[in-house]
Amino acid sequence: MTNIKLGVLVSGSGTNLQAIIDAVEQGVLNAELAVVISNKKDAYALERARKHQIPALFINHKDYAKREDFEQALIKELDSRNVDLVCLAGFMRVLTPYFVNHFPHRILNIHPALLPAAKGLYGEHVHQAILDSGAKFSGCTVHFVTADVDGGPIVLQKIVPVEDDDTPLSLAERILEVEHTAYPEAVKLFSEHKLEIIGNRVKIKK
């Protein structure tokens, strides 16, 4: 099986990045982490990457006048390392069609709810919206990124129950645990060429 090159975009703690690193190091996922890029200087995710000798870059979106200029800087770093798949792992910037079209069906994102629930929301707002909706289940979604924010073809979802006494934080924590199995699983399916996109649906080949 080919060893695909991953570029991971992050903004925060990077526990999903860690799950991918662990899957690679355990030999579960046949991939190479080519680069980790953060738009936040102090993101702990950069530290995690450095601890594993993975190139870790800080590219400040505030240094660029336009979103596309920032994205061009990201593309330059990703392309120079021949990245096959871009993984958004808690990356808190919306990407324009300029970036998305550069990597057609080659960008994955993880969303901490069962899309289309809480579409377009991020962080605590996602979980507050789920609690406000009265839903009894939430979970996470790994999906391909298209220009429609959180609207691209869904690769897989994992379900967790919403408990009566949940707060946005307690729900987020329960979901984060399943994210850590979902993301490596989705990347593995991609790396094995098992994902077939038909319209807005993803068929998983046997």
Residue number with the smallest Cβ distance to ligand GAR: 90
Nearer to ligand GAR, 54 or 176 (CB): 176
For residue 10, the SS3 value is strand
Least distance from ligand GAR to the Cβ atom of residue 92, Å: 7
Of 145, 179, 187, 190, the one binding ligand GAR (CB under 6 A) is 179
Residues 80-119 that bind ligand GAR (CB under 6 A): 89-90, 110-112
Residues 10-29 that bind ligand GAR (CB under 6 A): 12-16
Residues 50-79 that bind ligand GAR (CB under 6 A): none
Burial of 7 (0-12, 13-18, 19+ CB in 10 A): buried
Of 55, 123, 151, 168, the one binding ligand GAR (CB under 6 A) is 123
Residue 30 CA to chain centroid, in angstroms? 18
124-133 and 168-191 helices, crossing angle to 10°:
110
Q: Which of 61, 111, 127, 193 is catalytic?
A: 111
For residue 202, the SS3 value is strand
111 is catalytic: yes
Residues 6+ apart with CB under 8 A from 79: none
122 binds ligand GAR (CB under 6 A): yes
Contact 191, 30 (CB under 8 A): yes
Looking at residue 162, the DSSP 8-state letter turns out to be: P
Kindly list the residues in this chain that would bind ligand GAR in the complex (CB under 6 A).
12-16, 45, 89-90, 110-112, 122-123, 126, 176, 179
* Catalytic residue list: 111
